[in-house]
Amino acid sequence: MDNLINVYMNYKVNHLIKCGILLYGRDSKFIRKVFAGYIRTYIDNYYYETFNTIDDNKFTLDNLYKEFTGIRTDMKMEYKDREILDSNIEFYDNNKTIDELRDITYELVQIDMMKFNNKEEIPERIKNYLVGTRLIKDLLNTEIVNKLISYLTEDFNNRQRLFDTSESNFELKIRKFRDNSKYNYYEITPKIDALNNYRKTLVSKVYKDSCFDEKKFYCIMQKISLFILDSIINRKSIDMMFVEIKDSFVWRGQLINRILQLMDNPLIRKYVVFGITYNNYVNHRDAFYEDYNFACIQDFSHINDIYTKTDTIYKEGFFNYLIVKDCKYTDLDYFTTYEADGMEVLVFEEE
């Protein structure tokens, strides 16, 4: 169960390489490698806001071109070792390819950043864009343009299917925190509105069974991953998202690999906070990696000395957040006004 964002990015690389080879009119293992280098740089810049050769960390077309120029230099330096192994003609030709693909990829990824309301508008907009390009326009003929449009239409359809979650049998439930509108705690619930009362009760009862916890986590992570991707593509801001990791997800002192795979992406690390119980952390410290954001989920309703318990959690120095799952009404003021360097306390709103 690989993370959906990773799957999407790999798909994106392969799709753009296919389009690039069509435009370039040549194909080889070396050409695919060079295209992949530029395209992955674009993905790093555009989706992850990670820059490899420049100090700026803001995505602009100017910065992307600077990055491509830096990557071109890196690829040429790496290829320089082949000078004594390849023929003079091959060495010269491959260096020329590195130069040419920088500019072709730069114009190609601007097509990828286009937003289409429907597939019917793709042909006209693509033709208008291609006419204004500096390099690609000289490589084209009617057959290539039509084939490119077919690739882009196929990509549009694939993305429509990916981001259309209306047919899902589950929906995200968002719980809010007191006095904090930018944090969202996500749970997942079955869609049962159309069922009669008997079936609603039956589904709700079965759904609460812990044997479905892993499947529910999978569904949450898939939906969150789609939300993150859609927000980045449309350049929308993303609020921090909180998701619980059940105690049962730890096996023999480590997180189950299937769970870890769903978490393993830089965008998940950036925007998702994983909630764990204090006991689970204490009993399995090695299962939780510090390059993720973690919150301690604690029920204080049965704890008399909340001050010592809170202080104990804070002194672990591991948790970015403390989520108060429940507490006595008389303790509410303590938690809503609590301040400590490095750990923010969050209290659920009443449902």
pLDDT digits (tens, 9 = 90+) for 21-60: 999 999 999 999 999 999 999 999 999 999 999 998 899 9
Residue with tokens 């990015």: 9
In Å, how far are 37, 39, 48, 291 from 52, measured between CA atoms? 12, 13, 11, 20
pLDDT, mean over the chain: 90
Q: In angstroms, rounded to a whole number, what is the distance separating the alpha carbons of residues 318 and 304? A: 24
Burial grade of 106 (CB within 10 A; 0-12, 13-18, 19 or more): buried
**3-state class (DSSP) for residue 250:** strand
pTM of the model: 0.89
**For 259-283, how does the pLDDT look when each residue is reduced to its tens digit (9 = 90+)?**
999 999 999 999 999 999 999 999 9
Q: Which of 1-5, 115-119, 193-197 has the lowest mean pLDDT?
A: 193-197
Beta bridge partners of 177: 180, 348
DSSP string, 299-320: E-TT-S-HHHHHHHHHHT---S
